[in-house]
Chain A
């Protein structure tokens, strides 16, 4: 019992610099989980589609960016061209996959996104190959040095690219919230999520909104791909990180942007704290593979709609 309730806290107090490092690493992971979850939430809110393809969109966007640059295109032009590709992808998905399935049960649309995932994996591997590629971090002007701080005489290493990722993610979230709350198109997205029939009756175009949300999900995928790719390269292995967004969605609720952000940060930091202070000393480590799901399950026991999801009341 001492090892569970006393030793971890003594360790935290004894090495506060290390605790700060753990929290920082958790924050960086968490914000990237939150970004992936945001892509899921946006599409679910506006179309009730659980987009299984969000993970592969991260890989596809990052590979496209690196691919353009490898062809000699300047870095920021590559970003613009990649955004163009993500827009084309959004239009194609709406025209070819989603439009013919309007009115079909949710599970059919979900299955369609699995199809999109498989297509993007195969198409991506044909075009880009399966090799690990170097993200064009420096070419994009992202600093790659690190700040070495010595709080309480200890050591705290802050990678500048991680700091950049956190700032970029925060700006993206703020921009997204502003777009959803203060623009006509943003309000249309929210209206479609609140009551699709009512939204359609006042002239909101389902097709336009679907293209828009898939494009925004593509932008989020690109930012996430750059941030993750800067850490350990760009490869199809990035796709598996998307599965870490699932407990974030369970925790935060499928429809809540706030939930995705807070859920991502909570899971990122709590799984890191648990792994370092309880998992590694007591359970042999590698608890990050299941901790987030356990946490989400516990939350679901008490709040089936997630921490920030809307409580559904059905009258009979």
Chain B
């Protein structure tokens, strides 16, 4: 009944949002609270939503204008995602596609419709090249950054020469996204890469994949999992007695709820992350005061302390800062999509700004530019201690220069394949 009550509350809030739409900035979120990926989607969507609710309640929005943060349910289906994009693009100043598959589908459309895509920590990695992808942003970190940081971390534990690394991934555009950089790194560092795909129907039955891991005996398993795949992989790893300390997931494979399924048995599992939860951060107190205590939140205490909920907060902060930057530049609170594009291109999230936002330590400082739409904030290696994630590394920075040529070449391939493709000639070069 709690869910019924919260959904009813959400409906009321959504309706009130429509009424206020004329005096607000419309920032739709193509969310998924249903379907096989709901378990990972819900905490992220709740975090995103609660941050915007907090700004509306505490500050009257951004620059005095309310934020109309409407969700359009996709169920992580690419077809539904495209429908949601088409449905919302009329008044939207941004689109948040929330799936690499949906991002790839709407990417060419946004270049024509001139609406910024904001895909924090996901999407097509060469979107970092702001000259080619002038309307797309994946700050603060892209998948290639994540893959590079994981390999860097593994290398810091010892040479990778002659080692075998299994790459367990969802058989989906998201899961395949880091393959080019991992293949390049394998050649460069001398390790063997063993890609192991997991089909959508096999997410909760990965015994074949883990039998392969048992047979191949890789030194490490790197996971690009999502939704039910994460829990499926972690329980199989425990079952097959794979050393958890050798098992590392990307930031979307580091959710507290997935690890709680195995508890102590999952201790040692790691996840690279560009965000870190801090329950004592001032922003959390503000959300509690203005959103939770007033009954506007759809979340709960356990979820709010987790990595994903608080990552959702950081994601909305990136958008809010883009809006604020654009408002200041253009001297108007009612910015349009093109002006927000400028704002997202000129983000400057410093330590000082994070402190002002009450988010020190929740994300590393980063900045974007005309040429660099990712920011490459870097992140930390987190480890599950049996009950929560904790930091086990200093701040890691991706070696962006080492794959800049690959990114430029993939961006150029994309532009050629989708010709005529408008680029931003005013940018000096790709990042």
Contacts and interface: CB of A to CB of B under 8 A. Distances in A.
A264 interface: no
Contacts of B28: none
A130 B228 contact: no
Contact of B33 (A125, A132, A159): A125
B7 interface: yes
B207 A280 contact: no
Interface of B is mostly: helix
Contact of B202 (A21, A121, A228, A289): A289
Contacts, number: 134
Interface in B1-51: 1, 3-4, 7, 33-39, 41-43
Nearest to B201: A240
A44 interface: no
B317 interface: no
A153 interface: no
Contact of B211 (A125, A134, A240, A276): A276
A129 interface: yes
B38 A235 contact: yes
B167 to A, nearest CB: 11
A235 B36 contact: yes
B258 interface: yes
A70 to B, nearest CB: 10
B197 interface: yes
A243 B198 CA distance: 16
B36 to A, nearest CB: 4
A128 B205 contact: no
Given A272-B207, A276-B208, A241 B201 contact: yes
Contacts of A72: none
Interface in B207-241: 207-209, 211-212, 214-215, 227-228, 231-232, 235-236, 239-241
- Measured as residues with beta carbon below 8 angstroms from the partner, the interface class of chain A is 35 or more
Contacts of B211: 18, 21-22, 25, 272, 276
B200 interface: yes
Interface in A103-159: 121, 125-132, 134, 146, 157, 159
Interface of A: 15, 18, 21-22, 25, 28-29, 121, 125-132, 134, 146, 157, 159, 228, 231-233, 235-241, 243-244, 272, 275-276, 280, 284-286, 288-289
15 contacts: A18-B211, A18-B214, A22-B211, A25-B208, A126-B7, A130-B38, A130-B39, A131-B303, A228-B205, A235-B39, A235-B228, A237-B228, A240-B201, A276-B215, A285-B209
- Of all A-B residue pairs in the complex, the 5 with the closest CB atoms, nearest first, are A130-B38, A237-B228, A237-B36, A132-B39, A289-B199
Given A157-B240, A286-B198, 6 more contacts: A132-B258, A272-B207, A276-B211, A280-B196, A285-B208, A288-B199
